[in-house]
């Protein structure tokens, strides 16, 4: 394998098949299975794939710009699937505000964030929730994209406001809080 100038090397990295994950190639698909789930990834015709010594290798047939970008993309997608089947992906959220709370009812989330009624967020296939205390939510599952998407949907129920920071935010997210009118008038005076 030759690496030219300004060429990404991500696509050529081998993917280790972790213990507990079974991989097989069928036509132009790679099927990854484990106890937690199953992924069926369809590769474009411009890429070839093979499994040797418990490792997955992806190669491209042509060196066009689009094929090069697909090479790195599909390598990352397969790596994320293998990693997610081994150890679930997680997103951590926290609810902040007076009277705001969250609890698990069965497999659904009940979120109280200042509305006249609690918001019930239903369970989604392949995604699980965990509540720590009554302020922290952990969204986890084997599909990285789906975990991020669901965490974002939960966050969008009550995006933190720009004056007090009350709402649902990611753990570690830094909010830019604006000063209110009172703070501005005191500054000017």
pLDDT at 8: 59
* H-helix or E-strand spanning residue 150: helix 144-155
Look up the domain containing 143 and give its range: 89-170
When pLDDT is averaged across residues 125-139 and rounded to a whole number, the result is: 94
Q: Could you say which of 39, 69, 86 is where a domain stops?
A: 86
* H-helix or E-strand spanning residue 54: none
Task: Using the predicted structure, report yes or no on whether residue 181 has a pLDDT greater than 80.
Answer: no
Please state, as a whole number, how many other Cβ atoms lie within 10 Å of the Cβ of residue 139.
Answer: 27
pLDDT at 189: 56
- End-to-end distance of the chain based on CA atoms, in angstroms? 69
The two most distant CA atoms of the chain are separated, in Å, by 74
pLDDT at 185: 67
Same domain (yes/no): 66, 93: no
Please state, as a whole number, how many other Cβ atoms lie within 10 Å of the Cβ of residue 24.
Answer: 10
pLDDT at 165: 85
User: Does any domain span residue 45?
Assistant: yes
Same domain (yes/no): 76, 94: no
Q: Which of the 8 DSSP states describes residue 44?
A: P
Q: What is the CATH number of the domain that holds 149?
A: 3.90.930.12
% of residues, the chain, pLDDT over 70: 92
Q: Could you say which of 32, 63, 86 is where a domain stops?
A: 86
When pLDDT is averaged across residues 144-164 and rounded to a whole number, the result is: 94
When pLDDT is averaged across residues 175-181 and rounded to a whole number, the result is: 81
Give the chain's mean pLDDT: 89
Q: Are 55 and 16 in contact (CB under 8 A)?
A: yes
pLDDT at 188: 63
pLDDT at 5: 47
pLDDT category at 44 given cuts 50, 70, 90 is very high
Summarised one tens digit per residue, pLDDT across range 64-122 is 889 888 999 999 999 999 999 999 999 999 999 999 999 999 999 999 999 999 999 99
User: Does any domain span residue 2?
Assistant: no
pLDDT at 102: 96
Q: Which of the 8 DSSP states describes residue 154?
A: H
Same domain (yes/no): 46, 80: yes
Task: Using the predicted structure, report yes or no on whether residue 184 has a pLDDT greater than 90.
Answer: no
pLDDT at 64: 86
pLDDT at 9: 78
Domain count of the chain? Answer: 2
* H-helix or E-strand spanning residue 164: none
Q: What is the pTM of this model?
A: 0.83
User: Does any domain span residue 94?
Assistant: yes
């Amino acid at each position: 394998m030759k690496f030219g100038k300004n060429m990404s090397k991500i696509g050529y990295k081998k993917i280790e098949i972790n213990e507990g994950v079974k991989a097989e190639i069928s036509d132009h698909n790679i099927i990854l299975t484990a106890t937690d789930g199953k992924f069926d990834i369809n590769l474009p015709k411009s890429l070839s794939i093979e499994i040797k010594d418990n490792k997955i290798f992806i190669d491209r047939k042509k060196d066009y710009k689009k094929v090069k970008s697909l090479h790195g993309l599909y390598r990352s997608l397969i790596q994320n699937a293998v990693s997610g089947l081994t150890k679930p992906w997680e997103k951590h959220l926290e609810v902040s505000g007076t009277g705001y709370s969250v609890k698990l009812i069965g497999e659904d989330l009940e979120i109280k964030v200042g509305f006249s009624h609690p918001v019930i967020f239903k369970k989604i296939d392949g995604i699980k929730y965990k509540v720590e205390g009554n302020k922290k939510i952990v969204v986890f599952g084997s599909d990285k994209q789906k975990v991020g998407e669901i965490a974002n949907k939960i966050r969008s129920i009550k995006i933190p406001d720009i004056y007090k920071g009350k709402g649902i935010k990611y753990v570690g997210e830094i909010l830019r809080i604006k000063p209110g009118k009172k703070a501005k008038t005191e500054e000017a005076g």
